[in-house]
């Protein structure tokens, strides 16, 4: 797989209470990913960037909310989320380690 493409697949981690609970209980980490990314690309990108072993990837499409801006109706963009389960013994630290 092209390394340049893999570097663009992950948009960023999702830091929330739900994501932190999934990481603690089952070793799953949530990422915002490129809408055209495949499960295989997402797994390879996580392995490349964080030097861990990926066991499974689950992907879901999040629909953007309809919002109102004064008298105009608007819509937030759709985006894609991936839950990546790591092999036992692997860990990702988003805290920076101070």
What digits encode the pLDDT tens for the residues 47-69? 999 999 999 999 999 999 999 98
Q: What is the pLDDT of residue 96?
A: 66
Q: What is the pLDDT of residue 47?
A: 96
Q: Is residue 96 part of a domain?
A: no
Q: Is residue 94 part of a domain?
A: no
Total domains present in the chain: 1
Whether the Cβ atoms of residue 49 and residue 31 lie closer than 8 Å to each other: no
**pTM for the whole structure:** 0.88
Q: Is residue 95 part of a domain?
A: no
Mean of pLDDT over the chain: 93
Domain that holds residue 78: 3-86
State how far the Cα of 75 lies from the Cα of 38, in Å rounded to an integer: 25
Share of the chain above pLDDT 70, in %: 96
State how far the Cα of 35 lies from the Cα of 22, in Å rounded to an integer: 22
Residue 30: which CATH number? 3.30.70.330
Q: Is residue 37 part of a domain?
A: yes
User: Closest Cα to residue 9, out of 30, 38, 29?
Assistant: 38
State how far the Cα of 84 lies from the Cα of 70, in Å rounded to an integer: 39
Q: What is the pLDDT of residue 35?
A: 96
Q: Is residue 64 part of a domain?
A: yes
The two structure tokens encoding residue 12: 């960023």
């Amino acid at each position: 797989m092209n390394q340049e493409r893999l570097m663009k697949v992950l948009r960023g981690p999702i830091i929330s209470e739900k994501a932190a609970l999934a990481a603690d209980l089952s070793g799953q980490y949530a990422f915002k990913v490129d809408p055209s990314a495949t499960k295989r690309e997402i797994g390879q990108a996580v392995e490349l960037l964080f030097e861990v072993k990926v066991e499974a990837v689950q992907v879901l499409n999040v629909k953007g909310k309809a919002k109102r801006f004064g008298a105009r109706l608007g819509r937030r963009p759709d985006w894609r989320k991936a839950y990546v389960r790591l092999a036992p013994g692997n860990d990702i630290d988003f805290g920076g380690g101070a």
